[in-house]
Structure 1
Amino acid sequence: MKIYLLMLSLILSNYLSFSQNDISIGKSEILHSDILNEDRQLEIHLPKNYNNSDKEYPVMYLLDSYYNFTHTVGVTEFLYLNRLIPEMIIVGVRNTHRNRDLTTDSSQLSKEQQARMGTTGGADHFISFFKQELIPHIEKKYKAAPYRIIVGHSLGGLFNVYTFFKEPNLFNAYLTISPSLWYPNSLISEQLEKGFTINPENHTSFYMTLATENSGTMRGNTLKLSGTFENYKITHEDSNLRFKYQPMQEESHGSTNLPSLYKGLKFIFEPTLYEVPKSKEEILALGGALEVIEKTKEYYKQLSQNYGFEVSNEYALTDLGYSFLRIEEYDKYALKAFQDAIDSNPNSYNAFSNLGKAYENLEELEQAKQYYEKALKMVKETGDPEWEFYQVDLENLKKKIQDKKE
């Protein structure tokens, strides 16, 4: 009985020890603002391999973080795992006086509206907080690239629109969800009536949605803003401004947040998805295999300059390599595509595995074995639970080598 109780105690001890390992998606920190004369709570999410990387990451500034931080982290990680967006730092900004920070002064508010809103008119101070305190703090403390996204919903969306007109180059991308454009704002009204008088200097993306809101002013101004963007694009063909309006009639004002975030991030980083040629005819039309490889690398080099951080070319070169493998007379060029992927992404176990597959396809089995072994060693070090796939590739190759010897 004593032995049984001892064994049970050990098992429960191990179980309890295991169950106490917390899952963390971020951390909280306090930044004092002299401009706002108060402390502001920030919620910070860092990419998985942040501490082991020397890369700089784009930064998402998330308004209304209390409501949005958890699902935003989930969406960004999901999109990254599916190769649709890069990894990023998320900076959630908790509210203290939401209506104050996200609105401007307005003499057009009714007495009832003003009474319900309480203190308003602090948007300019809030912009200054971002520009002079928060952004410098984040870019000094963290490995932050100079590419900034702001996400705002409802009054946060109103703040996005106002900031875009007031400080168009403060952010590189504006993800604007069901903006409260019912709120009277003289600068926004002026821009909607006269047409944009701004010209963003950087490569700016503006994504906007609207749910089932039936308020005439809110819906009308959102549609007017969309039309103004479209006219601007037509009259400024050389502009680096990208815009997309996506109505979401199936969503409520609250539920539109999640799908807007998902689709908005895909839009912002859509240029990072490069369509590689799939056929012999397409490859020849682009100048041949070697020229296609160089054009792909050049595209990502230019893209990295536009975004202000390194946009990985790994997936494009990988797709290109597999395109070459499917065309018999081009399969040898797959080696170069996969090798260039390794050269640009030396910490990617997938890149080494793909080069191994190319050598196996060419029946250069000993070469393939070296790269499979390297990939397996690397993936095990990451803790990726799918390391067994790499083990199977290696074991199958070893059997193939043995069968060939016999």
Structure 2
Amino acid sequence: MVTGLSSQVIYEEFNSTKLQETRRLKIQLPRNYDANTEKVYPIVLVFDADYLFEPVAGNVDYYSYWEEMPEAIVVGIMQGRTRDFDGQYDETNFLPTEKGADFFEFIGLELIPHIDKNYRTAKFILAVGHEFTANFMNYYLFKDPPLFNGYLSLSPDLAPMMDSRIAESLSKTPHKIFYYLATGSNDLKPIREVTLELHENMKTINKENIHYYFDDFEGASHYSLVGKAIPSALEEIFSIFRPISKKDYDEIILNLKTPVFEYLMTKYTTIEDLFGFKTEVRENDIIAIASAAERKKEWTSLEQVAQLASKEHPDTVLGSYYLGRFFEETGEPKKAMRTYQSAFELEEVGFITIDMLLDRADKIKQDFGF
């Protein structure tokens, strides 16, 4: 779990060659960014940062604090006076033109390379836009590969043909894409109608590499839906990242037909594949899988969990405890006793205490006369 100082917020004046002007950026770095010098972080790129930055950055900080999503670098683009020009599109082909084309190139050719150069970034970018900018960010879907891995589209004011273009692009791309779309029952009528049309098109896409989520918030307006949609989107998009829950344990893990250790490895491999960074296997996830291995009498899985715990958390009692349990269950009590005793100077974890390990060692000694 992330602890320590609060997130750092930095303001930057970025001199853009493409735009021939200076743009103001607002950047939130994760807690302990300066201390964790080897760690890399996904980017959350926020359009309309004049009013969207704080709700996005606050939710990212909150969810990452509780390990519900990875820590991330939040980059906001202030667009108060330039918004209409930034999203400008041609009235015949409905693609970026003039200032809109310049802004499109500014994001891909200047801003993202600048962030990658100056901060420790992972190769995952989630873009967030509302209304006009929620339309604009879709143009990056038409690139190969798309610039963004995730799209958080809040009540989008879509250009003509965009609803079909988005669905067509997603149906053809081989890349993993996360797409979240939100409207509300009290949304602006024209925007709500075209959003629902896009939703109907998106429902026809049935591809493993496309992760699509949709919310229609009852009673929410064009503006109030933003506060509901951001946490909902983060929960959906980063669901694989969350720690193993009791529901996961009861409904999935205990009913697996394959070894439970494979479930754990698949979870963390998927995190690396989707978000572009490796993360330490959590202590609680190790305990959950080890508990399931014991309950299902999967002793090979238990041994593998013990070895993983020793590698990921070498200063704790986790590896010793579960390796001792493996030796006990597979008929090697002397090895179990010595393994428990060897953990005397290690750190306790949850219910696994030094006294507990020494008690198990003493019981083996008494039972077998060692």
Quickly name the TM-score band, shorter chain normalised: 0.7 to 0.9
Displacement of 1:225? 0.6
In the alignment, is residue 249 of structure 1 matched against residue 249 of structure 2?
no
Preserved CA contact (<8 Å) 1:211 1:253? yes
User: What is the aligned-residue identity percentage?
Assistant: 24
Aligned to 2:275: 307
Superposed, which structure 2 residues align to 1:45-124 within 5 Å?
45-51=28-34, 52-95=36-79, 96-106=81-91, 122-124=99-101
Distance 1:62 1:373, change over 3 A: farther
Superposed, which structure 2 residues align to 1:272-283 within 5 Å?
272=241, 275=248, 282=255
Distance 1:366 1:172, change over 3 A: same
2 CA distance for matches of 1:24 and 1:359? 39
**TM-score (normalizing by structure 1):** 0.70
Higher strand share: 2
Preserved CA contact (<8 Å) 1:355 1:368? no
Which entry has the higher C-alpha Rg, 1 or 2?
Answer: 1
In the alignment, is residue 38 of structure 1 matched against residue 15 of structure 2?
no
Distance 1:281 1:322, change over 3 A: closer
1 CA distance for matches of 2:339 and 2:255? 30
Higher helix share: 1
2 CA distance for matches of 1:29 and 1:256? 29
Q: Deviations over 1:310-330 (max 9, x none)?
A: 255435444211223445x44
Superposed, which structure 2 residues align to 1:222-301 within 5 Å?
222-231=195-204, 233-234=205-206, 237=207, 240-272=209-241, 275=248, 282=255, 285-286=257-258, 291-294=259-262, 296-301=264-269
Distance 1:346 1:280, change over 3 A: closer
Secondary structure of 1:337's partner?
Answer: helix
Distance 1:213 1:293, change over 3 A: same
Runs of at least 5 residues in structure 2 that lack an aligned partner in the other structure = 366-370
Aligned to 2:368: none
Preserved CA contact (<8 Å) 2:310 2:318? no
Alignment match of 2:165 (pick from 185, 191, 199): 191
Aligned to 1:146: 123
Distance 1:164 1:394, change over 3 A: same
Distance 1:337 1:225, change over 3 A: same
Preserved CA contact (<8 Å) 1:369 1:394? no
Aligned length: 342
Displacement of 1:130? 0.9
Q: CA RMSD in A?
A: 3.9
Displacement of 1:213? 3.5
Secondary structure of 1:248's partner?
Answer: strand
Aligned to 2:304: 336
Runs of at least 5 residues in structure 1 that lack an aligned partner in the other structure = 1-21, 108-119, 377-388
Superposed, which structure 2 residues align to 1:198-217 within 5 Å?
199-217=172-190
Preserved CA contact (<8 Å) 1:356 1:367? yes
Displacement of 1:180? 2.3
2 CA distance for matches of 1:249 and 1:139? 39
Distance 1:166 1:211, change over 3 A: farther
